[in-house]
């Protein structure tokens, strides 16, 4: 299992469009991937799950992966969040 904290850079947070980009990237990996905010963990490959966290800009989230490509998955998802989803 590989875990990394990352602050959400874009002002509106993980609303529908950036959440969709995040989920598409997460689905490129074989590992199980979760996002955790304030002790609540959801499947990072589920749009409804990600949106249910209500992640706004400035929130720090944990990206957690477990599987054969866990380190690469976390690294690429963290990079995507840090980029602000090109907004």
| Residue 71 bears catalytic tag | no
CA 69, CA 9: separation in Å to the nearest integer? 25
In the three-class reduction of DSSP (H, G, I as helix; E, B as strand; rest coil), residue 71 is classed as helix
Q: Which of 83, 2, 86 is nearest to 44 (CA)?
A: 2
Element (H, E) at 79: helix 70-82
Eight-class DSSP state of 45: T
Q: Which of 15, 42, 57, 78 is labelled catalytic?
A: 15
The set of catalytic residues is 15
């Amino acid at each position: 299992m590989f875990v990394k904290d990352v602050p959400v850079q874009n002002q509106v947070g993980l609303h529908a469009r950036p959440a969709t980009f995040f989920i598409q990237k997460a689905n490129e990996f074989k590992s199980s991937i979760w996002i955790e905010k304030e002790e609540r963990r959801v499947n990072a490959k589920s749009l409804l799950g990600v949106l249910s966290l209500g992640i706004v800009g400035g929130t720090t989230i944990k990206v957690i992966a477990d599987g054969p490509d866990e380190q690469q998955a976390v690294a690429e998802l963290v990079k995507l969040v840090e980029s602000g989803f090109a907004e």
